[in-house]
Structure 1
């Protein structure tokens, strides 16, 4: 069932990964930089350029790539090849795993506003899953 690596469109994986990664840059640097900082309790701290460090660029990129490849494997193994099924799959994975796990991880003493953080970051992953899975089916 999971011997599908040879049937995956790797160009589609690359395109979906790039879209997911760029969505993250747009999400955190363009659309929600202030709310994101507030969710971390850092709204009154000066921006130290921490987001420009290599770890904060490469780490999310590697994670987005692994998530994208995993989606490609599952789409292929489950024979999901229509937009409607890809959307349903994206919502199940996006809400059931990524959004929920993001909130769960945020519930700790180091995140002062865990549900706000979960809303911002979980929503990014949910939108990302829709984008990734629709692209994987399209390509």
Structure 2
């Protein structure tokens, strides 16, 4: 079932959805929530050293966004979701049930001084990203 779904994926829609998800991350962390994100990490009083410009902090999230996007495309095909309403429902289930919740769970550790703030910022990014990705995947079939 999933092999057939993988071969039926519309790869242009995957590319467009991935680019949108990746650009949303740049918008989210560089323009909308940079100060709150630094606060969530306990770095609000530290100078910005440009460390987040290192390749791992750009390539790593890009690879993850691509894998998430491909996974959504495969699941949409396997579940025969081809309309906006069901795609939105799927995005909310995956976004809240897996990505948002898992982000908060990962943040609850001694290295994140404000885990719930971090979880809210990053989890919300993934939730909005899932809605964006899945609506694009359905729109460009």
TM over 0.5: yes
Q: Are residues 1:2 and 2:6 paired?
A: no
What secondary structure is seen at the aligned counterpart in 1 of 2:103?
helix
Question: Which residue of structure 2 lines up, in the alignment, with residue 14 of structure 1?
Answer: 15
| Number of residue pairs the alignment of both structures matches | 139
Question: Which residue of structure 1 lines up, in the alignment, with residue 127 of structure 2?
Answer: 126
After superposition, give the CA deviation of every residue in 1:107-136 in whole Å (9 maximum; x if it has no partner): 000000000000000000000000000000
What secondary structure is seen at the aligned counterpart in 2 of 1:47?
coil
Question: Which residue of structure 2 lines up, in the alignment, with residue 113 of structure 1?
Answer: 114
Any gaps of 5 or more consecutive residues in structure 2?
A: none
Q: Residues of 2 paired with 1:63 and 1:30: CA distance?
A: 21
Question: Which residue of structure 1 lines up, in the alignment, with residue 40 of structure 2?
Answer: 39
Q: Residues of 2 paired with 1:5 and 1:69: CA distance?
A: 9
Question: TM-score, normalization: structure 2?
Answer: 0.98
Question: TM-score, normalization: structure 1?
Answer: 0.99
Question: Which residue of structure 2 lines up, in the alignment, with residue 60 of structure 1?
Answer: 61
Note the C-alpha offset of 1:51.
1.1
Q: Residues of 2 paired with 1:5 and 1:35: CA distance?
A: 38
Q: Which runs of 4+ in 1 moved over 2 A?
A: none
Q: Residues of 2 paired with 1:22 and 1:51: CA distance?
A: 16
Question: Which residue of structure 1 lines up, in the alignment, with residue 79 of structure 2?
Answer: 78
Any gaps of 5 or more consecutive residues in structure 1?
A: none
Note the C-alpha offset of 1:6.
1.7
